[in-house]
Amino acid sequence: MQLSVWTYEGPPHIGAMRIATAMRDVHYVLHAPQGDTYADLLFTMIERRDRRPPVTYTTFQARDLGGDTADLLQSAARAAYERFQPQAMLVGASCTAELIQDDPGGLAQALRLPIPVIPLELPAYQRKENWGASETFYRIVRALAASSADGSPRHERKAGARPVCNLLGPTALGFRHRDDLAEVTRQVVELGIEINVVAPWNATPADLARLPQADFNIVLYPEIALTAAQWLNRQFGQPYTKTIPIGVGATRDFIREVAGLAGVDAEPVLSRAESRLPWYSRSVDSTYLTGKRVFIFGDATHAVAAARVATQELGFEVVGLGTYAREFAREIREAAALYGIEPLITDDYLQVEARVSELRPELVLGTQMERHIAKRLGIPCAVISSPTHVQDFPARYSPQMGFEGANVLFDTWVHPLMMGLEEHLLGMFREDHEFADHAPSHLGAAPAAPPQQPQLRVVETVTSTELAWASDAERELTKIPFFVRGKARRNTERFARERNVNLITLETLYDAKAHFGR
Amino acid sequence: MNAHAQACAVTSSSPDGVLRERGQREVFCGLTGIVWLHRKIQDAFFLVVGSRTCAHLIQSAAGVMIFAEPRFATAIMEERDLAGLVDANDELDRIVAQLLARRPDIKLLFLVGSCPSEVIKLDLSRAALRLSQRFSPGVRVLNYSGSGIETTFTQGEDACLAALVPVLPSADRNARPSLLVVGALADVVEDQFKRTFAALGIDNVAFLPPRRSSELPAIGPETRVLLAQPFLGDTARALEERGCRRISAPFPLGGEGTALWLAAAADAFGVSRAHVERTLAPLKARAEKALARYRAQLAGKRVFLFPDSQIEIPLARFLAREIGMELVEVGTPYLHRDHLAAELPMLPAGTLLSEGQDVERQLDRCREARPDLVVCGLGLANPLEAEGLTTKWSIELIFTPIQGFEQAGDLAELFARPLLRQTRLAV
């Protein structure tokens, strides 16, 4: 058992729903008790979809457990087929139905419906949402693409014909998938490459049958589409992209990689390409961004990409990097090694909270969970990854990928911070009463107020009981802007402890300042 | 359609005119009750023993609304718990110890059963007993089931309160008569009721659940129970088994409902009719004044209620009688005839009641009827709006103070707002 206050991912059948809901003419019959229908609201409320997810739940109750849950599944599948007339049906179980072992896939196949029926085995007590999405997408691609092409190698492109690719990965309830897709599509079309199929987003089963007709695949989200792309590679010899176009540098790398796979020249597109990020980052006001200590947590793809943008394109210092996705722990470990930091691989929200409060970063780039943590600790935060919240589906165009995505990153990561000159004025004129800790701030309500934790035992670095602060030193500490005060206090105490100083005076404070630098 | 009806839904229209359906139910499970119960009882913690789905459900139904650290969590069962590689009880003990070490402010811990824990027959009552002994006297541990195979949405509150009944202290043999108001209400509503009961001359009043676990009311044969919510079947039965007597009344929604509810209590305490009339008349008049504005906007509009929380019948009675709305269909997950005995006769003759659900067929009926307003759950609201219907989220009726005279106008406003919005928007 695992104690969980918040979860980063839902169970694997939610992942399957994200695939089914993204597609058209697919129906998912889910063997599940009543209550599991809550999942519909993720799509209709959080993502504001205007249609119900294409899911029929058997909603069995205790009284059904005696024996007829299997009949219930079959009648639900038959009724769903008759009512919705899908081109293909997914059949699976949620956590409770897994325990009663009805074999929903076999039961549905026994109905001999005139459409492909794809059984899904998603072990709910071992796996989670992203794995469920990946496995579902792989199963559906395998079932539908294989049947059409009989395992034959991919078609030969006629001389002079335009290169063709598929775009794989965007799902329902994905973090900015809608806008990433638009941005990447624009980029690919500009390279003179034709898009054969986008999947699962808006794809029909018939579209999936056409997947083998492309020359290569673009994988936008490895968490969702890597397994399917690897299978397509083995089966049809289609290579796939490995670069994720988040940030200016990665977008340029991505364009080169795609152009290479397509056999076209990337240079004309690269020379025209424009993002405001490089100039904004070089403009003098951004000097204050230098070395800002940032903590990054999310799915592996977004976290690794964010770390690169943070260091190379904004000049931040990455002090923490982690993911909740154990399947992609290797990628995070490799990236963390680059920055010389300890990776954090956990889906335990409390551990993430402990790490953030220990590191005291100046900016948190995380999920909605880290937004909670950052809010409580009074640290600015921007959201970079799933799990999503209604705010992560903005009305405006707001991709993370491509050159426009880089502009979005600059704005959304920099705006929570204090502006350059503001920060200096605050530093110089601490005693202006309107600069007081509880004065209105860009960071929202009372940023410096101590986190309101009801008698929580917060995991903190233990300070030696011997250490005391002289009152003038303590007063001086309050003149330091609140967003660096915690760091100044800890550095000073460390400095004192290392030198066996028991009373921290004004002199100790400034000695420590000189020792550590900013 | 016909084939579908034969294949799937089990529908029966019984002689009492109630449409009973058995198909896909688009409802929450009882775990959802934790969302309001954990705020109501301020030193209680709810530990769901379940799966990742349970954790995800509570978080999705409520998580984004909560900004303080929640007093609920899930002990997520994993493969090794099911495969018997570890003793689930040892695991549970370890997690409870971890939890209580982190939250020393917790005095009452509920172990909440879920679908998976019920299916594998994990005995949470024994676990609660064992843990209660271990953490006594600081923490009391109780258990109930919020599983979807046994409970629908608000039945989770019923199961929780029923679990509290055995630990309520016994009143002294010669205790004076007391009134126990049962069902979670907003604090502000409780305070209003307390003042009104006092004005009526009933001052020995307690509420279940209490705001703190140290304030458990004493009960006994002199305790009269007044249900504030219609979904408390098990709790009422448990209280009756402890000798309490239930007062039959309509529920306190709207001016009329609230007046009848209070009057029923007053009657049970032998308060004179004249005093009741004198006390309640000005309050009722104020509620009517607040309602008048909305009545003008809503009278004659047709409303369709999907099953959700079991408050649909009192709600429909309020909408029909005090607001003048026309009831197209009133769905409820369960029809508790006994507790609704005072409500059902107040509904307009011929009202279509449906019990249980086959959501696809109910949607067909709703689309065909084209009501002016649909009261439904979060999974259905936006899709119906996209089809051009106007909706009201039913969950808001549980998360908003709507009971009592002073909230009658607020309750009506919840129904008026979506329609008003339609008239304002020009996009």
- Residues B204, B145 share a domain: no
Angle at A54 between CA A52 and CA A58, to 5 degrees: 100
Q: Which whole number is the average pLDDT over A502-511?
A: 90
- Is pLDDT above 60 for A468? yes
Inter-chain touch B53–A100, beta carbons under 8 Å = no
Q: How many domains does chain B have?
A: 3
Residue whose structure tokens are 């919005």: B421
Cβ neighbours around A69 below 10 Å, total: 20
**CB contact (8 A) between residue B383 and residue A49:** yes
Asked if residue B256 belongs to a domain, the reply is: yes
B360 vs A120: CA distance, rounded Å: 24
The Cα A446–Cα B323 span in angstroms is 44
Distances from the Cα of B257 to the Cα of A404, A422, A457, B252, B295, angstroms: 58, 58, 47, 5, 16
Of B354 and A390, the one with more pLDDT = B354
Task: Please indicate if any CB of chain A lies within 8 Å of the CB of B374.
Answer: no
Q: Looking at per-residue confidence, does A377 or B236 come out higher?
A: B236
What pLDDT, on a 0 to 100 scale, did the predictor assign at position B17?
81
Name, in order, each residue with C-beta under 8 angstroms of B287's C-beta and a sequence gap of 6 or more: B254, B255, B258, B405, B406, B408, B409
Q: How many Å apart are CA A388 and CA A383, to the nearest integer?
A: 9
pLDDT over threshold 50, residue A450: no
Reported ipTM: the value is: 0.93
Please indicate, yes or no, whether residues B344 and B421 belong to a single structural domain of this protein.
Answer: yes
Low-confidence ranges of chain B (pLDDT < 70): 1-15, 62-68
The answer to whether B67 faces chain A, any CB pair under 8 Å, is yes
- Kindly indicate the confidence band of residue A479, based on its pLDDT and cuts at 50, 70 and 90: confident
Task: Name the amino acid, one letter, at B141.
Answer: V
Which of residues B243, B273, B303 is at a domain's end?
A: B273
pTM, two decimals, is 0.90
For residues B53 and B147, state if they share a domain: yes
Strand partners, A26: A88
The whole-number pLDDT of residue B130 equals 96
Q: In this model, does residue A461 exceed pLDDT 60? A: no
Q: What is the pLDDT of residue B68?
A: 62
Residues B85 and B124 in one domain: yes
Q: End-to-end CA distance of chain A, in Å? A: 44
Secondary structure (H, E, C), B121-170: CCCHHHHHHHHHHHHCCCCEEEEEECCCCCCECCHHHHHHHHHHHHHCCE
Instruction: Give the nearest partner residue to B76 out of A2, A36, A56, using CB atoms.
Output: A2
Chain centroid to CA B345: 22
Structural domain includes residue B95: yes
Number of CB pairs < 8 Å for A and B? 207
Which pLDDT score, from 0 to 100, does residue B1 have? 35
* Residue positions counted in chain B: 427
Q: Are residues B77 and B207 in the same domain?
A: no
Question: B266 with B292, same domain?
Answer: no
User: Does B115 sit within 8 Å of A96, measured CB to CB?
Assistant: yes
For residues B214 and B310, membership in a common domain is answered with no
Pairing assessment for the beta strands A117-119 and A88-93 based on DSSP bridges: parallel
Quick check: is B173 in a domain? no
Interface test with A, best of B1, B2, B8 (most A CBs within 10 A): B8
Compute the distance between CA of residue A357 and CA of residue A491 in angstroms, rounded to an integer.
Answer: 15
User: Is B419 in the same domain as B296?
Assistant: yes
Whether residue B42 lies within 8 A of chain A, CB to CB, comes out as no
Q: Is the peptide bond before A153 cis (omega within 30 degrees of 0)?
A: no
Query: Is B366 an 8 Å CB contact of chain A?
Result: no
How many angstroms away from the CA of B287 is the closest CA of chain A? 33
Binding residues of A for substrate: 420-421
Q: Is the pLDDT of residue A455 over 50?
A: no
Q: How many beta carbons lie within 10 A of that of residue B336, not counting itself? A: 17
Compare CB distances from B382 to A14, A37, A44 and report the shortest one's residue: A44
Judge whether B144 lies within some domain.
Answer: yes
Choose the closest CB to B7 out of A1, A44, A79.
A79
- DSSP β-ladder status, B72-76 and B44-50: parallel
> Considering the domain boundaries, does residue B44 fall inside one?
yes
My answer on whether omega of the bond before A54 falls inside 30° of 0, hence cis, is no
Q: Which residues in chain A are contacts of B156 at CB distance < 8 A?
A: none
Predicted confidence at residue B24, as pLDDT, reads 94
pLDDT for the residue A456: 38
The position carrying tokens 């509420």 is B207
> Which two three-digit tokens encode residue B309?
């929380």
Residue that finishes a domain, picked among B273, B298, B326: B273
Q: Which amino acid makes up residue A150?
A: D
A457 with B8: Cβ contact below 8 A: no
Partner-chain contact B64 A389, CB within 8 Å: yes
Distance CA B318, CA A311 (A): 61
Residue B185, domain CATH: 3.40.50.1980
Segment A248-271 shows an average pLDDT of 97
The question of whether A215 is a catalytic residue gets the answer: no
Catalytic residue among A68, A71, A265, A285: A285
Domains of chain A: 12-131 (3.40.50.1980), 164-271 (3.40.50.1980), 276-415 (3.40.50.1980), 468-517 (1.10.8.550)
Range of the domain at B222: 178-273
Would you call B385 an interface residue with chain A, using a CB distance cutoff of 8 Å?
yes
At residue A144 the predicted structure's pLDDT band, cuts being 50, 70 and 90, is very high
User: Which H, E and C letters describe chain B, residue by residue?
Assistant: CHHHHHHCCEEEECCCCEEEEECCCCCCEHHHHHHHHHHHCCCEEEEEEECHHHHHHHHHHHHHHCCCCCCEEEEECCHHHHCCCCCHHHHHHHHHHHHHHHCCCCCEEEEEECHHHHHCCCCHHHHHHHHHHHHCCCCEEEEEECCCCCCECCHHHHHHHHHHHHHCCECCCCCCCEEEEECCCCHHHHHHHHHHHHHHCCCCEEEECCCCHHHCCCECCCEEEEECCCCCHHHHHHHHHCCCEECCCCCCEHHHHHHHHHHHHHHHCCCCHHHHHHHHHHHHHHHHHHHHHHHHHHCCCEEEECCCCCCHHHHHHHHHHCCCCEEEEEEECCCCCCCCCCCHHHCCCCCCEEEEECHHHHHHHHHHHCCCEEEECHHHHHHHHHCCCCEEECCHHHHCCCECHHHHHHHHHHHHHHHHHHHHCCC
CB atoms within 10 A of CB B3: 11
Same domain? B297 vs B266? no
Query: Is residue A484 pLDDT above 80, yes or no?
Result: no
Shared-domain flag, residues B39 and B130? yes
Residue B37 lies in a domain: yes
B366 is in an annotated binding site: no
The total number of residues shown for chain A amounts to 518
pLDDT tens-place string over residues A40-64 = 999 999 999 999 999 999 999 988 8
Residue B158 lies in a domain: no
Which of B221, B239, B273 terminates a domain? The answer is B273
- Whether A10 and chain B come into contact, CB under 8 Å, resolves to yes
Assess whether B234 and B307 both reside in one domain: no
Q: Which of B68, B95, B118 sits opposite A1 (nearest CB)?
A: B95
Please tell me if residue A95 touches chain B, with a CB cutoff of 8 Å.
yes
Average the pLDDT over each of A149-158, A159-168, B370-379 and give the range with the smallest value. A149-158
Of the candidates B105, B99, B153, the one whose C-alpha atom is nearest the C-alpha of residue B131 is: B99
Q: Is A60 exposed, middle or buried (0-12, 13-18, 19+ CB in 10 A)?
A: buried
Q: Is residue B19 part of a domain?
A: no
- In this structure, the answer to whether residues B268 and B349 fall within a common structural domain is no
The per-residue pLDDT for A411 is 96
